[in-house]
Amino acid sequence: MLKSTLYALFTSLILNTTVLAEDKPKKIMISPDIYSIDVEHKGQIITIKRNQNRENIISKYYQKTHRGKIQAINPFKPHAVETIGTLEMIHYLKQKTGGDNKLKIIDSRTKVWVKRGTIPGTANIPFTEFKNEERALEIMEDELDVLNTGSALNFANAKTIVMYCNGIWCGQSPAAIRTLLKFGYPAAKIKYYRGGMQNWESLGLTIVKP
């Protein structure tokens, strides 16, 4: 009788421990060794992590599959602009927050899109501003450390820039990048986050709104 009672208690303890373990869901990781990162955004520290609600769904702005032309992996040939993925984007965000002043991460979408959410730690420079040559030169001088001698542009100290827009179907950052390349901006100093906001939001990663 005693043996039966002890066995029942032991079995109950094992079952209850298993239930408790199942009730506490595992963290949803960014990668096997990264749960979250802190970045600076407009003077505030924002924690980027994946939404821990397993029922979370993607924003309505990125649910439709009927979009524009799919961008090639490298739409800038023969220029060797590097196309990066989300983990590389997170690496650059960490690098920027760590004090790398020679790095600029740019949301090149128009302001109506940015109001719906942007990636923390990035700055908005709409691709439309690069269409005006005078404004494009101003951005390169003031924001990207390009030296304008009046007769030529000196890119020796130009920042490395990471550009993104809405996703693989969006042409906003490709348009801005092509303009920079026409001015002679070194392709080696330009990174293209092709997946953009659609990839970012589909992974449940943190966004901020103005």
Contact of 206 with 47, CB cutoff 8 Å: yes
Percent of the chain with pLDDT over 70: 89
Span 166-175, pLDDT tens digits = 999 999 999 9
Residue with tokens 């220029």: 79
Tokens (6 digits) for 14: 């094992």
The residue ranges of the chain whose pLDDT is under 70 are 1-23
Distant-in-sequence, close-in-space partners of 139: CB < 8 Å, separation ≥ 6? 125, 129, 130
What is the domain partition of the chain in residue ranges?
36-202
The pTM of the full predicted model, rounded to 2 decimals, is: 0.86
Given this model, what pLDDT does residue 67 score? 85
Nearest Cα to 203, choosing from 46, 52, 1?
52
Separation between Cα atoms, residue 114 and residue 112, nearest integer Å: 6
CATH code of 36-202, in short, is: 3.40.250.10
Span 44-79, pLDDT tens digits = 999 999 999 999 998 888 988 888 889 999 999 999
Tokens (6 digits) for 49: 């992590």
DSSP-derived letter for residue 25 is P
Tokens (6 digits) for 31: 């990668």
Residue with tokens 């039966």: 4
